Amino acid sequence: MVRLAPTYDASQERTGTVPPTPNKRSWFEPLVFALERPALAFALMLVRDRSAAEEIVQEAFARVWVSPKTPPEEVEFRRWLYRAIINLAHDHLRRQARFARLRFWLAPAKNPLDVIDRWVEDEELVQTLRRLSRREQLAVYLFYYEDRPFEEADRFLGTRPGTARKVVSRALQKLRTQLTIDAVEEPSH
């Protein structure tokens, strides 16, 4: 499932502080093989979606690998890994709950072309989205339609950390306000 390259730091070799070794964490790979199935089953139990569970487990193994505090004993390693899986699953479920609360977010259609037809037909939503600035449109698109984290949206927008979160929040507030105003004005016409 997860194949990790051996760690190697050329700067340590040049300074002579550490002799070159192919892999300082030789204990890691056997633990990955031993725990990959139970970890996947655990993640699947938490999120009830196989593809999401696989991504969560892969990310959890990567985070555990990178952490210098990861314990090499199997019992402690499992606890450490499962804590990473729980945190990632909670993030995933929070993201799903946030999407479910969006007023203009629709359940996925069985035929994706139907969604495009609905969007084109929903002229009010299209016009309201067009009123947003390019920056706001891009931030909303990256976060909600491509499911990119705010940190990645910040890098894409070329802004400081945390800016994309504010841009998306303000854009959604503008959308809510404008759609509410339009809904109130419409009956009087």
Instruction: Write down the domain spans for the chain.
Output: 10-100, 102-188
The pTM of this model reads 0.45
In this chain, the answer to whether the domains covering 10-100 and 102-188 adopt an identical fold is: no
Q: What is the CA radius of gyration of the chain?
A: 23
Six-digit token string for 117: 């037809």
**CB burial string 7-31: b at 16+ within 10 A, e below:** eeeeeeeeeeeeeeeeeeeeebeeb
Q: Which fold has domain 102-188?
A: Arc Repressor Mutant, subunit A (1.10.10)
pLDDT at residue 30, rounded to an integer: 92
HEC-encoded secondary structure of 1-24: CCCCCCCCCHHHHHHCCCCCCCCC
Domain 10-100 class?
A: mainly alpha
pLDDT at residue 187, rounded to an integer: 59
Residues of the chain by 3-state class (helix, strand, coil), percent to 5: 70, 0, 30
Residues in CB range of 114: below 8 A, 6 or more apart? none
Q: Could you read off the pLDDT tens digit of each residue along the chain, which spans 189 residues?
A: 555 544 545 455 455 554 444 457 789 999 999 999 999 999 998 898 999 999 999 999 999 999 999 899 888 898 899 999 999 999 999 998 887 777 655 555 566 556 555 655 667 776 777 788 878 877 887 787 777 788 888 887 888 999 999 998 998 888 888 877 766 676 554
